[in-house]
Amino acid sequence: MGACRGRFASRTPDGFQAISAGKYDYRGYAVPSKQYSVCGGYPDALARVGQLLSQECEAVDFMDINMGCPIDLVCDKNAGSALLRQPKRMEQIVRATATALGEVPLTFKTRKGFNDGEDVAHTFLHKAGEWGAAAVTLHGRTRQQRYSRLADWDYIAQVGRNCATTGLQLVGNGDVFSYTDWNAHMGESGGHLASLMIGRGALIKPWLFTEIKEQRHWDISAGERLDLYRQFAAAGLEHWGSDSRGVESTRRFLLEWLSFTHRYVPVGLIEVLPQAMNHRPPAYRGRNELESLLGSDDPQDWLRISEMLLGPPPAPISFAPKHKSNSYASPPGGASEADMARG
């Protein structure tokens, strides 16, 4: 079983009042102040986690169970997306954990189904409120897809209609990368979605929430983007310490983040707006040297950026991203969907 403390990656521009009254503002964008995201496959273990959170932690906004993670390490332990093969087990986990949490709201996230062609979420998600869930997030892909092909928003809307009949708040998830994506998915849901969750889009361009709030494509400068990395590095050193071990821990996570952020194409350079999540970014020359550097897909350039913020590493290192969650469209003769799913 794994757990991490974090912040929910998305909310309506006015905040998700049904879940939390506490807020954290990023340039005026409100999100809950504290949530705990966990994964696991056994009701007793997750109920114990819920009990500990409610008794030992202060000001917990809500606890979220990840029942949608597609990676083998998680699914092999009967957690994450593997639970889609056992809806009854999902129910047992939610009921036990919600009871243990008491007044702390419980949410969970999941996918359409485990295998392609075997969508199952619509058969039970509308019942999750009866189990004790305050809200549910649905990713519009199966576990087999991983991140290949586009998310199925028609299916999310269908499940949203089902959930609306029982009063359960459903949050849609998948490929939201611009304010126009947000507007389209919220509008096409017919009012049956409480909000949207943003994952990779926020990793690639964390100012996406500002774009949604202000309803604009933000042509953020390379200097402003570098300032975000500076803030990240400072937070990492504050958390892990400024000794050599703390610096290298910060560098490792910074490099993982850079493996996402290089995919952003500046608004002032892209030919067609908005940039789509499933389109491979074209090679481009930035409006200055820094902008070109930030758009490089070469891990050695990511190391250069880390050195600008953290100094050189104590010994030469090589880096390869741990999580290759791309969903690029496959060109003729290119990688198959199966290859992309494995990535």
166: domain CATH number is 3.20.20.70
Q: Note the pLDDT of residue 230.
A: 98
**Is residue 125 within 8 Å of residue 162, measured between CB atoms?**
yes
Whether residues 164 and 276 share a domain: the answer is no
**Is residue 131 within 8 Å of residue 96, measured between CB atoms?**
no
Whether residues 289 and 181 share a domain: the answer is no
Q: How far apart are CA 61 and CA 104, in angstroms?
A: 7
Of the candidate ranges 26-35, 81-90, 224-233, 307-316, the one whose mean pLDDT is the lowest? 26-35
pLDDT at 51 over 80: yes
What share of the chain has pLDDT > 90, as a percent? Answer: 78
Whether residues 110 and 148 share a domain: the answer is yes
- Write the CB contacts of 112 (distance below 8 Å, at least 6 apart in sequence): 119, 120, 121, 138, 139, 140, 141, 142, 152, 155
Q: How far apart are CA 183 and CA 105, in angstroms?
A: 27
Whether residues 184 and 153 share a domain: the answer is yes
- Give the confidence band of 178 by pLDDT, cuts at 50, 70, 90: very high
Q: How far apart are CA 292 and CA 262, in angstroms?
A: 10
Q: Note the pLDDT of residue 301.
A: 97
- Residue that finishes a domain, picked among 196, 214, 232: 214
Number of domain units in the chain: 2
Residue 337 lies in a domain: no
Residue 335 lies in a domain: no
**Is residue 126 within 8 Å of residue 166, measured between CB atoms?**
yes
Burial 276-294 (b: 16+ CB within 10 A, else e): bbbeeeeeeebeeebbebb
Q: How far apart are CA 331 and CA 320, in angstroms?
A: 24
Whether residues 226 and 207 share a domain: the answer is no
Residue 50 lies in a domain: yes
Backbone angles phi, psi at 171, to 5 degrees: -110, 125
Whether residues 60 and 128 share a domain: the answer is yes
Whether residues 39 and 166 share a domain: the answer is yes
| CB atoms closer than 10 angstroms to residue 153 | 21
Backbone angles phi, psi at 280, to 5 degrees: -65, 130
Burial of 320 (0-12, 13-18, 19+ CB in 10 A): exposed
The active-site residue, picked from 4, 39, 57, 69, is 69
pLDDT in tens, 285-321: 999 999 999 999 999 999 999 999 999 999 999 898 8
Q: Is 163 a catalytic residue?
A: no
Whether residues 55 and 164 share a domain: the answer is yes
**In the predicted model, what is the mean pLDDT of residues 141-160?**
94
Q: Note the pLDDT of residue 329.
A: 56
pLDDT in tens, 101-144: 999 999 999 999 999 999 999 999 999 999 999 999 999 999 99
Whether residues 188 and 242 share a domain: the answer is no
- Give the confidence band of 31 by pLDDT, cuts at 50, 70, 90: low
Q: Which of 136, 217, 128 is nearest to 166 (CA)?
A: 128
**Is residue 107 within 8 Å of residue 134, measured between CB atoms?**
yes
Q: Which domain holds residue 243?
A: 222-310
Residue 91 lies in a domain: yes
- Residue that finishes a domain, picked among 171, 190, 214: 214
Per DSSP, 331 falls in state: P
Q: How far apart are CA 258 and CA 296, in angstroms?
A: 10
Residue 318 lies in a domain: no
Q: Note the pLDDT of residue 248.
A: 97
Q: Note the pLDDT of residue 213.
A: 95
pTM of the model: 0.85
- Write the CB contacts of 261 (distance below 8 Å, at least 6 apart in sequence): 203, 204, 205, 225, 294
Q: Note the pLDDT of residue 199.
A: 93
Residue 343 lies in a domain: no
Decide which of 251 and 4 is more confident.
Answer: 251
pLDDT at 61 over 50: yes
Whether residues 72 and 128 share a domain: the answer is yes
Q: Note the pLDDT of residue 323.
A: 72
Whether residues 244 and 154 share a domain: the answer is no
Residue 342 lies in a domain: no
Whether residues 153 and 297 share a domain: the answer is no
Q: Which of 112, 197, 100 is nearest to 154 (CA)?
A: 112
Residue 244 lies in a domain: yes
- Residue that finishes a domain, picked among 162, 190, 214: 214
Residue type, 162: N
- Give the confidence band of 280 by pLDDT, cuts at 50, 70, 90: confident
